[in-house]
Amino acid sequence: MVGVETYPYRFSPPVDYGKTRSVKGEEWYQADEVAEEYEEKRFSRGGRLIDRREKQAVLDAIGPVDDQNVLEIACGTGRFTVMLAERGADIVGLDISAAMLQQGRQKARDAGVADHLEFMRGDAARLPFPDDHFDTVFAMRFFHLADTPAAFLSEMCRVAADRVVFDTFNGTSTRSIYNWLLPMGSRLYARSEVEKLLEGANLELVNAEHDWILPYGFYRKIPGSIADPIRDADTTIGDLPFADRFASVSYWTARVR
């Protein structure tokens, strides 16, 4: 693989993103101390259940990854990038935070896959790749921070030949009760809004999974021994016919038309 500075392709983005690019909390997200504590704060204790579920959602959406060419947007500390590299994907992880990427590169070295993936610092609104370059493009924990989701989704679609995968937080969920208390808040979505975004990006919805009646923040605050039975109850409730509309998180899989 080659780095972003030497990437051999040149292109003109279809839209002028200079005025549309906007992600909440960019400065906070790029701080060294945030990167160093990111996984410990979010994926320890009950948060390990979140990590497990998110990884399964990615694997379910992408399927077998041997020899697939994959791009992860907002890869952060490389949780998914390294996981897919271990499974044989040819993968690039892109993020705006140099500190997060440093954590990811260390994770890749520890896992013995540093030679099988690439981490690049870059802007999700101006992806340095030609059209249709990747089999799959995905972004987890990204769209809740995007003030201009249509611009980002269109750019993801541009570089994807087959599939686009992402998640959203939902406006009819328990997260809406406390969202205003969060330092950066979150963009919350209705299904109709996601469907409109997909249509605007020329994507066809293939599958949607809805989960987590209780919000992520709750699980991160409790020990794993308490989180396990609560998660079991959460999953049972989530299987009821009416529960999708109250789920905190939706995982969307779409195909390029």
Question: Stretch 115-133: mean pLDDT, rounded?
Answer: 95
CA distance 9 to 133: 11
CA distance 138 to 54: 12
Of 56 and 12, the one with more pLDDT:
56
Predicted pLDDT at 20: 38
Predicted pLDDT at 251: 98
- Residue 25, both tokens: 């909390």
Predicted pLDDT at 124: 94
Token pair 């994507």 is at which residue? 203
Confidence grade of residue 24 (pLDDT, cut at 50, 70, 90): low
Predicted pLDDT at 182: 64
153-182 pLDDT, tens digit per residue, is 999 999 999 999 999 999 988 888 777 666
Distances (CA, A) of 251 to 137, 162, 207: 14, 17, 8
71-93 pLDDT, tens digit per residue, is 999 999 999 999 999 999 999 99
Spell out the domain ranges in the chain.
19-251
Computed over every residue of the chain, the mean pLDDT equals 87
Question: Stretch 113-129: mean pLDDT, rounded?
Answer: 95
Confidence grade of residue 14 (pLDDT, cut at 50, 70, 90): very low
CATH of 19-251, one of 3.40.630.30, 3.40.50.150, 3.60.120.10, 3.40.140.10: 3.40.50.150
Predicted pLDDT at 147: 87
Predicted pLDDT at 3: 37
129-154 pLDDT, tens digit per residue, is 999 999 999 999 999 989 899 999 99
Q: What is the pTM assigned to this prediction?
A: 0.86
CA distance 56 to 53: 5
Predicted pLDDT at 37: 76
CA distance 159 to 166: 15
Look at phi and psi of residue 139 and say left if phi exceeds 0, alpha if psi is from -120 to 50, else beta: beta
183-217 pLDDT, tens digit per residue, is 566 899 999 999 999 999 999 999 999 999 999 88
Which DSSP string corresponds to 177-214? HHGGGSSS---EE-HHHHHHHHHHTTEEEEEEEEE-SS
Residue 13 three-state SS: coil
